[in-house]
Amino acid sequence: MYLYSLTLQRPTGIISAINGNFSGGKTQEIVVARGKVLDLLRPDENGKIQTVLSVEIFGVIRSLAQFRLTGAQKDYIVVGSDSGRIVILEYNKEKNVFDKIHQETFGKSGCRRIVPGQYLAIDPKGRACMIGACEKQKLVYVLNRDTAARLTISSPLEAHKSHTIVYSICGVDCGFDNPIFAAIELDYSEADQDSTGLAASEAQKHLTFYELDLGLNHVSRKWSEQVDNGANMLVTVPGGGDGPSGVLVCAENFVIYKNQGHPDVRAVIPRRVDLPAERGVLIVSAAMHKQKSMFFFLLQTEYGDIFKVTLEHDNDRVTELKIKYFDTIPVTSSMCVLKSGFLFAASEFGNHSLYQFKAIGDDDDIESSSATLMETEEGFQPVFFQPRRLKNLVRIDQVESLMPIMDMKVLNLFEEETSQIFTLCGRGPRSSLRILRPGLAISEMAVSELPGVPSAVWTVKKNINDEFDAYIVVSFANATLVLSIGETVEEVNDSGFLDTTPSLAVSLIGDDSLMQVHPNGIRHIREDGRINEWRTPGKRTIVKVGSNRLQVVIALSGGELIYFEVDMTGQLMEVEKHEMSGDIACLDIAPVPEGRQRSRFLAVGSYDNTIRILSLDPDDCMQILSVQSVSSTPESLLFLEVQASIGGEDGADHPASLFLNAGLRTGVLFRTVVDMVTGQLSDSRSRFLGLRAPKLFSIIVRGKRAMLCLSSRPWLGYIHQGHFLLTPLSYETLEYAASFSSDQCAEGVVAVAGEALRVFTIERLGETFNETVIPLRYTPRKFVLQPKRKLLVIIEGDQGAFPAEEREAAKKECFEASGMGENGNGNMEMENGGEDEDRDDPLSDEHYGYPKAESDRWVSCIRVLDPKTSSTTCLLELQDNEAAFSICTVNFHDKEYGTLLAVGTAKGLQFFPKRSLTAGFIHIYRFLEDGKSLELLHKTQVEGVPLALCQFQGRLLAGIGPVLRLYDLGKKRLLRKCENKLFPNTIVSIQTYRDRIFVGDIQESFHYCKYRRDENQLYIFADDCVPRWLTASYHVDFDTMAGADKFGNIYFVRLPQDVSDEIEEDPTGGRIKWEQGKLNGAPNKVEEIVQFHVGDVATCLQKASLIPGGGECMIYGTVMGSLGALLAFTSRDDVDFFSHLEMHMRQEHPPLCGRDHMGYRSAYFPVKDVIDGDLCEQFPTLPLDLQRKIADELDRTPGEILKKLEEIRNKII
């Protein structure tokens, strides 16, 4: 089995973000690392974050930094990754790519302890860069310019210190003196030797300054001093005339200013009032803002509170350090303060946000200062504060993030054409159920009812130079309605259009006149109001029309074509007639090319399943240039011109080309390239869009022509970052559409469906999925489908939080104390997230997080949710410190209760110092009220945490620690029937098929078991020989299991066919052999058939199809919030083709950040039988000559390769 791996949704979480001017000039940009993807983001003028570029780098990005050479206008990007190399990138605005400027190898690849890449620090003047590892190694590179002003990089200088753990490094701003880097270091050599523990307890962190002597080209330890043992992060303080220089050391509970030859200036970080005493406060992200006259720092704690830190200084003596409460936003992994007055907050879990500064915290607020620091016998006196609503920041945009995906199911609960993906995302109060649908989201601007069922709609401008449309013209079966667009849209009668007949086409003709084609003629309305009518000869009627700005072709019934042109005076003149052999199904004229008088091509589709290209040139007018036969009658045609591009932000480098699109009766969209000189058709592709013949319309998207295809659902074909994408829109079936532009809506679409006229815009171009969000209360763990009623049952749970009642009580108390009303916000409202959250609820948990409790306290709930109405029909909050961990539906064989719900819980679970619990339980619930609510039948105590539950032959299988046990339903409790205690660690998944049971162990991969009813025995007949730390598993077929492990691998194992047959034929079912066993394991071993390193922890796997009638593929969701698919190849030829393409891509286009592609995909185990589609899909981004070179090696043309890539993608989504 060979698989094709394709990422459907790139990771949405962010691990690190930096800001600067990467394209040069004044625009503020943000570069974010999403694990294996590097993105360039830019807030547009409306404050919406736009993704300008997104590159998969096939490696692990661990750190990012930006620097600028003195006097330069542009920032460079330094990437610390797992490649054992330092990589410096420059953003190339012209081509919209990251150019690799330098790549210097310094060590082994992989995220290792002593290989640098974990930390990056930059000299604030951009003269040097330090790259460090967790332990020992630090390398300094000198950055400079050569005579041609190109960036140069030196060979590395070592600043190693062995037996030393490094917590953080940063550059020290010392103006133009020798560059200095600071590091928090901890020496462990003595602690490792001293068995009394004295050395360990005395181990002290040090702040060390490393000086790079630019003259001697040497790095030396300049200064080292003890620092608070809770130190975890360093922040550069401006120096060299802008400030006092030195560093801020962020430690647990403190911020300390330190510099060489300067006494420490220390202040406590204010604590939340409700924080348990044993918890510290740690700074997790920091940002600095510097203006000419002042600078300040924003530091965020692990609870989400942001503090503004300012330094009072007198030249380079710091007199006071102040920490003032600023605002509270969800915890971030990075914050970026943009010069344009925005704060980009990259959340560690959940959606990222862009905030605008309303103030910079100059008002009075709770403040701690070094001047008022009080030391008492118990230590320093803490300062307390209460979080409040946002005062200094206002959120203006959000970027969706699925991180982390905890569980996922692909189901078609809404009976739509394609399945929906239900994902459980987020953590704690920011958890949600997100329903993903493949396709673009639209936002509806207006819906208005019309008097009748419209058949078509157009929009027209009055003059070619107008910015906005003037009229919307709607055609009915026997009338035409004209609406004028202004402040409001209203019906008008003075437009000159004939309203007593249906219309076939309405458009702007020439520069400023309008044309209405109706069955009996053409009405030409001149700008001054004169009307010219052309009538059809005899009783023939017009059936089809094709037109552009200067040319009109009509088709009369019977198959006659009449061609008109607009002459110099603006008159519409008949030029040519042509009799076709039969009736005409559809026709279209290509738009007039820039600077020409006419378009040369007319496409005519006929009922004999052919499309002909006719010439419109005066010398060979109506000559047939080429003929293309298609599989069924073409019903709609559209020429789509793609303008030449030399790259830039929206496109790769490509010449101008013309595509002919045809919507066929069978619902297939047929697309071919038209030779712009000869009119020959080539390179045809087809794609099934839906159950109705697609109608094609040209609309404008981002100022470019795009194609709207209306089949049983609407699709949009457009160019995004150099790729042509054809994506469904998440909207209902539409009849007819036209582009729409007005004052309120620059780029919209007006469409008719049923009796309504709809205006909408298309949002977030380039995205694969659009999502519907339903908020949840706690971190979701798992969910199941209640199959009969199509309800979802979700278990949620959080460690270290207070139960709902206690939270409510505490909140009330706090409001009473502060004299604020509670506004009647009940229990249920706290999970109703959304836009108005921060306004309605002064302390929304979604924003501020749940108050922290001791780590042995748990909260948990079981929720029944109706996804159709997105309402919770039942919510059971578990009591007494119990938390739910597993769930399944079960039908016991006595059928007394029908479908029951089993939930595995643990009470008082603790992970430290050792995993312990008070008790485990299995709850059995009965569904009441059509499944909408739950009633507890009974609960059964068990000795461990039941992490896996599964129905099996009318009984319940439970995995409790290392025990697999079979239960039957009793009156008061579950009854043990059979068990097997031979599993190595902890059972985390159980799946069954016939009499086989597939058990997943937390560390030891899969175990295949069998149950013998006659002997009432469970036994393991096969297992895996590789230790796999399972995070997800899925049963593929009788012998095959798919699994994902903690280290980011996905693998398939299969029981060899002969072993499988032997076991099935053996009357003892392999039991005799089992009793013998092999080396403490099972007698048979499964074989690994597929292995692939995804580079991200996959938490859920499912085999499903995302396209109607398509084959199934394995879909996975990951912690970083990405979705991917593995599709099995069906032909050997495809395998050959793609493996060769992958090989050439590896050679010709090595990954951006220097990791070897094969090495990355084989990071833990050698990759086996999986072809990396993400690498193959980078083929179109290669320069044309390289594309041709690879294509030659494969004996194909680049076009054929692109077609292959598109085909295989279309098989998946």
Partner 1 sequence: MQASDRFNINSQLEHLQAKYVGTGHADLNRFEWAVNIQRDSYASYIGHYPLLAYFAIAENESIGRERYNFMQKMLLPCGLPPEREDD
The interface region with partner 1, picked from 160-168, 267-275, 654-662, 1176-1184 by CB under 8 A, is 160-168
> Does residue 647 belong to the site contacting partner 1 (CB under 8 A)?
no
DSSP assignment string, 678-717: T--EEEEEEEE--SSPPEEEEEEETTEEEEEEESSSEEEE
Q: Does 908 bind partner 1 (CB under 8 A)?
A: no
Give the shortest CB-15-to-partner 1 separation in angstroms.
4
Q: Does 779 bind partner 1 (CB under 8 A)?
A: yes
Among 3, 6, 8, 15, binds partner 1 (CB under 8 A): 15
User: How near is the Cβ of 200 to partner 1 at its closest, in Å?
Assistant: 5
Whole-number Cα distances in Å, 841 to 273, 366, 812, 837 = 19, 22, 12, 6
Residue 203 binds partner 1 (CB under 8 A): yes
What is the closest distance, in whole angstroms, from the C-beta atom of residue 427 to partner 1 in the complex? Answer: 6
As a three-state string, the secondary structure of 555-567 is EECCCEEEEEEEC
Q: Least distance in Å: CB of 282 to partner 1?
A: 5
As a whole number of angstroms, the distance between CA 269 and CA 303 comes to 12
Site string for partner 1, 363-402 (x = CB under 8 A): ----------------------------------------
Site map (CB under 8 A) of partner 1, residues 451-490, x = contact: ----------------------------------------
Residue 349 within binding range of partner 1, rule CB under 8 A: yes
What's the one-letter identity of residue 1019? Y
Tell whether residue 1172 is a contact of partner 1 (CB under 8 A). Answer: no
Q: Is 62 in the site for partner 1 (CB under 8 A)?
A: yes
Tell me: does residue 801 bind partner 1 (CB under 8 A). Answer: yes
Residues of span 167-186 touching partner 1 by CB under 8 A? 167, 186
280-299 residues in contact with partner 1 (CB under 8 A) are: 282-285
Comparison of 800 and 1081: residue with beta carbon closer to partner 1: 800
Asked if 306 interacts with partner 1 (CB under 8 A), we say: no
Residue of 353, 1031, 1091, 1178 that binds partner 1 (CB under 8 A)? 1031
Asked if residue 848 binds partner 1 (CB under 8 A), the reply is no
Q: How many helices (H) and strands (E) does the chain have?
A: 12, 94
Using rule CB under 8 A, residue 60 touches partner 1: yes
| Binding region for partner 1 (CB under 8 A) out of 206-214, 489-497, 1093-1101, 1184-1192 | 1093-1101
Residue 912 or 1185 having the CB closest to partner 1: 912
Cα end-to-end span (Å), the chain: 21
Nearer to partner 1, 201 or 478 (CB): 201
What is the C-alpha separation between 599 and 663, in angstroms, rounded? 22
C-alpha span between 759 and 744 (Å, rounded): 11
CB 654 within 8 A of CB 645: yes
Residue 41: CB minimum distance to partner 1, A: 18
Q: Does 1184 bind partner 1 (CB under 8 A)?
A: no
Q: How far is CA 761 from CA 61, 312, 1202, in A?
A: 36, 51, 30
* 407 belongs to the binding site for partner 1 (CB under 8 A): no
Q: Does 194 bind partner 1 (CB under 8 A)?
A: yes
Of positions 19, 118, 480, 1187, contacts partner 1 by CB under 8 A? 118
Is the sign of the CA dihedral 409, 411, 413, 419 positive or negative?
positive
**Exposed/middle/buried for residue 98 (C-beta within 10 Å: 0-12, 13-18, 19+):** buried
Nearer to partner 1, 196 or 869 (CB): 196
Does residue 882 interact with partner 1 by CB under 8 A? no
Nearer to partner 1, 387 or 546 (CB): 387
> Least separation, in Å, of the C-beta of 779 and partner 1?
7
Q: Which is nearer to partner 1, 133 or 337 (CB)?
A: 133
State CA 866 to chain mean position distance: 25
Does 113 engage in binding with partner 1 (CB under 8 A)? yes
Does 800 bind partner 1 (CB under 8 A)? Our answer is yes
3-state secondary structure of 234: strand
Nearer to partner 1, 857 or 907 (CB): 857
Which lies closer to partner 1 via its Cβ, residue 179 or residue 387?
A: 387
Where do the DSSP E strands lie in 1097-1160?
A: 1098-1104, 1113-1118, 1123-1128
The Cα 36–Cα 1094 span in angstroms is 10
Distance CA 733, CA 736 (A): 10
Q: Which of 42, 136, 932, 1085 binds partner 1 (CB under 8 A)?
A: 136
Give the C-alpha separation, 372 to 368, whole Å. 7
CA 933 to each of CA 792, 804, 879, 929: distance values in angstroms, whole numbers, following the listed order: 11, 20, 18, 6
Nearest Cα to 247, choosing from 315, 168, 323, 301? 168
Helix (H), strand (E), coil (C) string for 738-783:
EEECCCCCCCEEEEEECCEEEEEEECCCCCCEEEEEEECCCCEEEE
Contacts of 38 (CB under 8 A, 6+ apart): 31, 32, 54, 55, 57, 61, 79, 89, 98, 1152, 1153
Percentage helix, strand, coil for the chain under 3-state DSSP, each rounded to 5: 10, 50, 40
Does 798 help bind partner 1 (rule: CB under 8 A)?
yes
Q: Does 162 bind partner 1 (CB under 8 A)?
A: yes
**Shortest distance, position 108 Cβ to partner 1, whole Å:** 9
Q: CA-to-CA distance for 254 and 238, rounded, in angstroms?
A: 20
| Cα–Cα nearest to 932, from 789, 832, 784 | 789
Q: Which is nearest to 65 in space by CA: 82, 43, 80?
A: 80
Of the candidate residues 331, 757, 878, 1113, the single one contacting partner 1 (CB under 8 A): 331
Q: Give dist(CA 1213, CA 1209) in Å, integer.
A: 6
For position 7 contacting partner 1 by CB under 8 A, the verdict is no
Shortest CB 106 distance to partner 1, Å: 13
Residue 1090 contacts residue 1109 (beta carbons within 8 Å): no
User: Can residue 403 be called a binding residue for partner 1 (CB under 8 A)?
Assistant: yes
Stretch of residues binding partner 1 (CB under 8 A), selected from 134-142, 338-346, 438-446, 615-623 = 134-142
Q: Is 1046 a residue that touches partner 1 (CB under 8 A)?
A: yes
For position 69 contacting partner 1 by CB under 8 A, the verdict is: no
Q: Which of residues 1122-1161 bind partner 1 (CB under 8 A)?
A: none
Q: Binding of partner 1 at residue 904 (CB under 8 A)?
A: no
Assign residue 1095 a region (left: φ > 0; alpha: ψ between -120 and 50; beta: otherwise): left
The answer to whether the peptide bond before residue 913 is cis (omega within 30 degrees of 0) is yes
Distance CA 43, CA 353 (A): 11
Q: Which is nearer to partner 1, 683 or 856 (CB)?
A: 856
948 counts as binding partner 1 under rule CB under 8 A: no
Residue whose CB is less far from partner 1, 104 or 194? 194
Indicate which single residue of 44, 114, 291, 809 sits in contact with partner 1 (rule: CB under 8 A).
114
Instruction: Please tell me what DSSP assigns to residue 943.
Output: S
**Does the protein bind partner 1 through residue 428 (CB under 8 A)?**
yes
Residue 134 lies near partner 1 (rule: CB under 8 A):
yes
Give me the least distance between CB of 1085 and partner 1, in Å please.
26
Q: How far apart are CA 882 and CA 884, in angstroms?
A: 7
Binding stretches for partner 1 (CB under 8 A): 13, 15, 35, 60, 62, 82, 111-114, 117-118, 133-136, 162, 165, 167, 186, 188, 191-197, 200, 203, 232, 252, 282-285, 302-303, 331, 333, 348-349, 403-404, 406, 427-428, 779, 798-801, 855, 911, 1031, 1046-1048, 1095-1097, 1118-1120
